[in-house]
Amino acid sequence: MIEVERVSKQFQDLEALREVSLAVHKGSVYGLVGSNGAGKTTMLKLLAGIYKPDSGNLMIDSQPVFENEAIKTRCVFIPDILYFFLNYTIQDMADFYANIYPQWNNQRYLKLANVFNIEVKRRIRTLSKGMQRQVALWLGLALMPDVMILDEPLDGLDPVMRQKVKNLIIQDVAEREMTIIISSHNLRELEDICDYIGILHQGKMLIQKDFDDLRADVHKIQVAFSGEIPPALLEQTQTLYHEQRGSVLILIVRGAYSEIISHMQSYNPAVLDILPLTLEEIFIYEMGDNGYEIKNILY
């Protein structure tokens, strides 16, 4: 669906993105994570066809996005800093989009009015930041996009609204196979909705993972032995991290779940526990390999 190949973008003397590649499949949710200034917004604006890449390819459905009306009609971009025309009410804005996008769904717009529960006659600029964000999503969803590009969409929303928004988005993904690329500086926030995660740091893609693979691939194991820890224990496993607390050994191991369990059990441990791993931890340990201080990137 979305293919980005070695895309670079330079702003005057600042290199915002350097040879970034990513791919998002139809109907999946891609989370773009990175600290401020990592290049997330630039990446998303490139995908929305606002910026023109300096080099590399940027395709949606195998077509370049920039200046492509047909592709852009199917995409909705909700930026981190919203813009609405001066003095426009929600209805005015809806009329505007209805005039521009042929697939504008007025039924959906009216239906969503109940979800968001904001008076359509209100001037958008008089609304609070959180409410404006809701309006943007509301209008965006009424456009029935195939691709939704969301820049920090949950920023400024209260927890209840956050969940509501996530649900709405996920619903569209499930029902209509909508594709989503969403950015956040907070990995935890994306944990429950993303299929893929990409981490940008200083304009470069550090790591990209299929979330399910990741979960299936990395495990946190707590083992204890009554006697000595068998020296061969770690030799045949791909250990990302190990820590010994007394006789208890905590391991972060990469590999197939069943293989690891059977491998561990072959040493007859006194205790063998599989502990849950947060997304954040997975990344921290994954990155540990690459020698990055992930905690400085994700907070």
Partner 1 sequence: MKSKTSFINRGILRNDFKRYTWIGIVYLLGLLLTIPLKLVMLFSRPDGIKMYYTARTYLQVLQLDYFPNLILIIIVPVLTGLLLFRYLQTNTAADMVHALPIKRETLYNTHIAAGLTLLLVPVIITALVSWAVVTGLGIEFIQGKHILSWLGICLLMNLVFFLSTVAVGMFTGLSTLQGLLTYILLLVPAGLSVLVLHSLKMHVYGFPYDLYAAANLDKLSPLLRLPSSVNIPLSTGELIFYILLCIALYLIGRYLYQQRKVESAGDAITFAILRPIFKYCVTFCTMLLLGSYFHETQGNIIWTYCGYLLGAGLGYFLTEILLEKSIDVFHWQRARGLGIYALVIIALVGFLQVDFTGYEKRLPELSQVESVYMDSYFHPLIYHNDNAPFQPYQKLYKDKDNILNIYNLQREIIAHRSEEKGVIIPPWSTNHTRVCLAYQLKDGNCVYRDYIINTAKYKEQLKPIYESREYKVNQYQLLRVNIDDIKLVEINNHYGNKNVSISDKELMRQAVAVLRNDIYGQNYDNMTMTRKPPWADIAITLAWEKNPPPDIGSDVAMISNNNTATSENNYQIYLSWEKSYTHFERWLQSTGLYNQARLLPGEDISYALVDYAPDGIDRATYDDLMGNRLLKEKPGVLKVSDPVQLELCLQNYQDSYTEQAVYMIVFELKNGSSFYGLFPSAEVPGFIKEHFAQ
Residues lying near partner 1 in the complex (CB under 8 A): 11-12, 45, 48-52, 67, 69-75, 77, 79, 81-83, 85-86, 92, 96, 99-102
Q: How far is the CB of 61 from partner 1 (least distance, A)?
A: 11
Q: How far is the CB of 236 from partner 1 (least distance, A)?
A: 52
Residue 75 or 141 having the CB closest to partner 1: 75
User: In which residue are the tokens 């990592």 written?
Assistant: 38
CA distance 219 to 215: 8
Residue 77 or 116 having the CB closest to partner 1: 77
Q: Are 47 and 17 in contact (CB under 8 A)?
A: no
H/E segment holding residue 75? strand 75-78
Question: 3-class DSSP state for residue 112?
Answer: helix
Q: How far is the CB of 195 from partner 1 (least distance, A)?
A: 24
Q: Helices in the chain by DSSP H: which ranges?
A: 40-47, 69-73, 90-100, 106-116, 129-142, 159-176, 187-190, 211-217, 257-265, 279-290, 294-297
Kindly report the length of the chain.
299
Residue 149 or 294 having the CB closest to partner 1: 149
Q: Strand 63-64 to strand 55-60: parallel, antiparallel, or no bridges (unpaired)?
A: antiparallel
Question: Which residues are within 8 A (CB) of 191 and not within 5 positions of it... i.e. 6 or more apart?
Answer: 278, 279, 280
Q: Strand 14-24 to strand 55-60: parallel, antiparallel, or no bridges (unpaired)?
A: unpaired
Residue 140 or 269 having the CB closest to partner 1: 140
Residue 97 tokens, joined:
């989009």
H/E segment holding residue 289? helix 279-290
Q: Residue 50 is which amino acid?
A: I
CA distance 138 to 111: 10
Q: How far is the CB of 49 from partner 1 (least distance, A)?
A: 7
Radius of gyration of the chain (CA): 23
Q: How far is the CB of 103 from partner 1 (least distance, A)?
A: 8
Residue 81 or 232 having the CB closest to partner 1: 81
Residue 122 or 263 having the CB closest to partner 1: 122
Q: How far is the CB of 145 from partner 1 (least distance, A)?
A: 10
Residue 17 or 264 having the CB closest to partner 1: 17
